[in-house]
A and B are shown apart, each in its own frame.
Chain A
Amino acid sequence: MNEGKVFSLYDFTALTKWIDTGLHHAMSPFWAVITELLIIGVLILIFYALIGLFLVYAERKVCAFMQNRLGPNRVGPFGLFQTIADLLKLLFVELVPIKNADKFLFNLAPFIVIIASFMAIAAIPFAKGLHAIDLNIGVFYVMAVSAMGVIGILLAGWSSNNKYSLIGAMRSGAQIVSYELSVGLALITVVILAGSMQLSVIVEAQRDGWFIFKGHIPAFIAFILFLISSTAETNRGPFDLAEAESELTAGYHTEYSGIKFAFFFLAEFMNMFIVASIAATVFLGGWMPLHFGAWAAGFNHVMDFIPPFIWYIVKTFFVIWLMMWFKWTFPRLRIDQLLTLEWKYLLPFNLVNVLVMAFIVLMGWHF
């Protein structure tokens, strides 16, 4: 097999097909499928862990630079291995069982938050042909599965038998269910434009221009609304009421120690990564390079030269960087302000925005 032709940074379809047929030749169909599942599972797991570790590092670095500090810079070059060291340390921390806690739910909660974020990451298209599950209801699926994480948070808060945890979890519940609506409506705005919920179709539809440009003002407004509400949905500052350190110690994970705490931490960062990749996929074209119309053919060629995976990562990290910027710039909201913002401003605004977008698509005024 000539590797050179099969492996291309621009299109992974050939590579995956080659692996698939190769495996089917080598063994019986049953074992071929099992091996494929194993490969995909392990690859995604490594990707998940790497992104999680890097995001924690990135958060600390971005925070440090915004506060005119250096941030982690001791372990490894530029402190890159700091989070790995932290993770190893957390593995060696005792898992303290809390008296009177609901043991079963207490242990179940980390499972739920991790599984929810892990299943959501499965449906995200990383590059052409590099897409674990291409569901025809992709957008809806990611929204639904990532919202499952709130169950884990509620369980964690309720089962720890701690008042801070309970208040944190309740706030988180009210907050996430509220902002879920805005996330959904902002995504609906784009689904109207694309006419499909399948993420690969949505990406393909942005070949000649990203939706944020194609959809005129409603798409841009939807992007802003999505950014605000997804920041709230992932419990990040300025909406991090569920773990408001100054009033609730650590919120819903106050009683979790060691690696269990690390799971909540990891899930929070991965949720941020998921919403950022959804924002990048749906509004900023996913792995599609930046294209202008036919009049800029030369420019388009230059942009095509950059591999799709790089485009995807750059866009996602741009959105993540925006979210980190929010966190370290705005002061935390009060819970009543938070709910007012959603129910009295974002939701009505979103409803009108969906109608405007529908009207524009109806009239064919989009590009």
Chain B
Amino acid sequence: MSNQYLVLFFLVGAIFVGLVLILSGIIAPKSINPQKFEPYECGIPTQGVTWLQFNVGYYLFAILFLVFDVETVLVFPWAVVMKEVGMTAFIEIVIFFFILGLGLLYAWKKHALIWE
């Protein structure tokens, strides 16, 4: 039953947005003016290209995020069974977090956490 509901919510969301967009498309006025279709840039004509390569700082954070997010995914199942498994689980997670902490410390010392 649950899986059906997931599809249902996806569909209802999509249909909701689609219908409202169509409705707005019907009732909203339209007027053609070439200047209106320019991207906004403080009222002056657009300078240069927009789609260019972006600062590597974002890239470093993305890599770090990947490491820690996979870690979060790994820790969730551990958190569920932690009560039953007991001491073994705790020691294992301490070791796991210790290694992760070292990784974070390494990134910190390498100045990967500084926004430039």
Contact = CB atoms under 8 A, between A and B. Distances in A.
A348 B115 CA distance: 18
Interface in A185-211: 185, 188, 191-192, 195-197
A333 B18 CA distance: 36
Interface stretch (A63-71, A78-86, A171-179): A171-179
A124 B82 CA distance: 24
Contact of B65 (A177, A348, A354): A177
Given A181-B72, A192-B79, A255-B40, A94 B28 contact: yes
A92 B40 contact: no
Contacts of A192: 79, 82-83
Interface in B76-101: 76, 79-84, 86-87, 89-90, 93-94, 97, 100-101
A73 interface: no
Contact of B80 (A132, A162, A196): A196
Contacts of A348: 101, 104
A119 B17 contact: no
A97 B51 CA distance: 18
Contacts of B101: 348, 351
A114 B17 contact: yes
Q: Interface size class for chain A?
A: 35 or more
B108 interface: yes
B25 A358 contact: no
A258 B5 CA distance: 31
Given A94-B28, A96-B37, A340 B14 contact: no
A263 B20 CA distance: 10
Contacts of A110: 17, 21
Nearest to A87: B20
Contacts of B5: 37, 40, 122, 132-133
Given A91-B24, A134-B2, A339-B113, A188 B68 contact: no
Interface in A95-141: 95-101, 107, 110-111, 114-115, 118-119, 121-122, 132-135, 137, 139-140
Contacts, number: 194
A162 B27 contact: no
B30 A118 contact: no
Contacts of A339: 61, 113, 115
A37 B4 contact: yes
Contacts of B108: 343-344
Nearest to B12: A41
B40 A164 contact: yes
A93 interface: yes
Contacts of A254: 40
Interface string A125-166: 000000011110101100000000000000000101111101
Contacts of B69: 177, 180-181, 184
Contacts of B110: none
Contacts of B6: 119, 122, 133
Contacts of B16: 45, 114, 118
A94 B10 contact: no
A249 interface: yes
A98 B37 CA distance: 5
B14 A98 contact: no
A42 to B, nearest CB: 8
Interface in B27-84: 27-31, 36-41, 50-51, 54-55, 57-58, 61-62, 64-65, 68-69, 72, 75-76, 79-84
Task: List 5 tightest A-B contacts by C-beta distance, closest first.
Answer: A336-B115, A118-B13, A115-B13, A184-B72, A191-B79
Given A118-B9, A164-B40, 13 more contacts: A41-B8, A91-B20, A94-B30, A121-B9, A133-B2, A166-B50, A166-B54, A173-B58, A177-B62, A188-B72, A192-B82, A255-B40, A340-B114
6 contacts: A94-B29, A98-B39, A163-B50, A170-B55, A188-B76, A361-B83
